[in-house]
Amino acid sequence: MERPKTEITLNGTFTASECLWFLNRGYDECLYRLFSGGVRRLFKSGSELLIVDIHLYDDKIILEWLNAVPSGKAVAEIAETISEWLDLETDLEVFYLAISADPRIAYMATEFSGLPLIGIPDLFEALCWAIIGQQINLSFAYKIKRRLVERFGESLVFRGEHYYLFPSPAELSTLTSLDFAHMQLSESKITYLIRVAESFRSGELSKAGLMKLNDTHSRISALVSIKGIGQWTANYALMKSLRERSCIPYRDAGLLNALLSHGIISDKTDQRSAEDFFAEFKGFEAHLVFYFWRSLSPKR
């Protein structure tokens, strides 16, 4: 039987292979599975749990609904989430024009052409992921995320395979540190995660609420007022979830390595040179950071 499909037409510069490169960097990702030419992921819209094969092409994206026929509302919501996730609305050519003036980074426009700033639409997930990943290597961070997701996240079995959603604030906010036993999370991180979950559950913190604030500075202030969220985490979450173009997770270990290897800073304490550099690219800071991260991995 033919499965229902939904097509998203792409108008801007988009390179499916670059997008898939990021999604398939070799880490133990638990929230989606790669297949040739695309990615399979579980989504929830209202009470509908839907497994979708997302087929990526340079000029379009085809959503193939695997386990059920989605409602019109679910199709619209999930297509919007995927558009946010894969940053389908941004015109990368403007960014490429901006970086073409600097010979140290101009190559990125051709080398990584069509790589979208892949985000994390769910702000709660973005914050939790940032907290989990604080000061540990990414491989280890992905392992911990898998434990968290598989223990507390909603799931659906399709053809014998489990597909998971990231746990909701309601699920995490009721837990105690005992519930996190043997997950290799530090006590402080467990406290931070529960505290952030409580903030979302109570409504004190929300993506919509943050978006209503006047500017980036206000949003960062609101986030860092929560214990466990510092400058790095706040900037990371705003960059990946609210797509704040001016956010820079300063002191990020990977970013510093990339700035060093591109000759932009003289050593990892050279904050001034980093600030001067980013000041030349206002409005493109987040994309620059993402492309610097991309530059850390070898060419495909």
Partner DNA sequence: TCCCAGGGCATCA
Partner DNA sequence: TGATGCCATGGG
What are the catalytic residues?
Answer: 252
136 binds DNA (CB under 7 A): yes
The torsion angles phi and psi of 138, rounded to 5 degrees, stand at -65, -35
The DSSP bridge partners found for residue 48 are: 45
- Beta carbon of residue 49, minimum distance to DNA (angstroms, whole number): 27
Residue selected from 8, 224, 262, 270 as contacting DNA according to rule CB under 7 A: 224
Identify which of 214, 235, 213, 215 has the alpha carbon closest to the alpha carbon of residue 224: 235
- Cβ pair 100, 26 in contact under 8 A: no
Q: Which residue, 102 or 270, has its beta carbon nearer to DNA?
A: 270
The yes or no reply on residue 266 touching DNA (CB under 7 A) is no
- Phi-psi sector, 115: left (phi>0), alpha (psi -120 to 50), beta: beta
Q: Smallest distance from the beta carbon of 39 to DNA, in angstroms?
A: 16
Structure token digits, residue 270 = 């050279």
Selected binder of DNA within 12, 37, 209, 254 (CB under 7 A): 254
**Block residue for tokens 């959603």:** 165
Residue with tokens 């402080």: 188
Judged by CB under 7 A, the chain residues 278 through 297 that form the site for DNA are: 293
In the window 48-77, what residues touch DNA (CB under 7 A)?
none
55 bridge partner residues: 38, 62
> Whose Cβ is closer to DNA: residue 75's or residue 131's?
131
Q: Does 134 bind DNA (CB under 7 A)?
A: yes
> DSSP state, 9?
E
Helix 253-261 / helix 285-295 crossing angle, nearest 10 deg = 80
Of 12-20, 80-88, 138-146, 202-210: span binding DNA (CB under 7 A): 138-146
CA atoms within 13 A on the CB side of 131: 26
Q: Which is nearer to DNA, 121 or 133 (CB)?
A: 133
Instruction: Assess 229 for contact with DNA (CB under 7 A).
Output: yes
Of residues 12-51, those binding DNA (CB under 7 A): none
Considering beta carbons, is residue 75 or 238 the nearer one to DNA?
238
Site stretch for DNA (CB under 7 A), options 127-135, 199-207, 210-218, 278-286? 127-135
Q: At what angle do helices 285-295 and 92-99 cross, to 10 degrees?
A: 80
- Collapsed DSSP state (helix, strand, coil) of residue 52: strand
- Write the interaction track for DNA spanning residues 175-204; mark x where CB under 7 A is met and - where it is not: ---------x-xxx----------------
Residues in binding contact with DNA, number by CB under 7 A: 30
Three-state secondary-structure class, residue 34: strand
For DNA, the binding residues (CB under 7 A) are 130, 133-140, 184, 186-188, 224, 227-234, 236, 240, 251-254, 257, 293
